[in-house]
Amino acid sequence: MQCFGEGTTARESASPERILIVEDDFDIRQVLCLYLKYSGFDVRDATGGQEAINLIPEYRPDLIVLDIMMQPVDGWEVLHWLHASCMKPPLPVLVLTARYQPAEQLQGFEEGAIEYLTKPTQPDIIVERIRTILKLSAEQRMMLRRKRMDEQRYTIERITAQPDKFMQ
């Protein structure tokens, strides 16, 4: 589905990078679409996981901004589908969700996300993360993902080793 318009961006370029926003909340989706379009990206949106799965092969996004909590097909299922589809190079996925637990963040990285942000996040931070990710090579993205997984594992180990310290 075209994101609130005909695919044009505020700053036209020869070939703007394509971003797919997968978000079931209309207001969040609208803000992200408008902000990313203004920032020079070609943006499309999907209101749920199944719509995203149907749109990805045709649209061929350069990056996906993915919510996790959607019905009936959630973000985890989209990540599983992306992994099973064996796209080369793998599509970078920035998870943007209200789920904030370190174990959930680790799961996101293990399932293939390169970045994991919790809502609410300022749109300018999302744009900067997208730009940074898109500048990285596939190898650099893999290294960043591994680093994020290691950081989350370390956080989980610290929390479970000293639960009383973190519960105060």
DSSP-assigned beta bridge partners for residue 118: 97
Q: Which H or E run includes 165?
A: helix 163-167
pTM for this structure? 0.82
Q: What is the pLDDT of residue 160?
A: 82
Residues 99-131 pLDDT 10s: 888 778 888 888 888 999 999 999 999 999 999
Scored b (16 or more CB within 10 A) or e, 8-19 reads ebeeeeeebbbb
CA distance 22 to 29: 8
Quick check: 8 pLDDT over 50? Answer: no
Identify the residue with better confidence: 92 or 161: 92
Q: Which domains are present in the chain?
A: 18-167 (3.40.50.2300)
DSSP 3: S
The number of residues in the chain equals 168
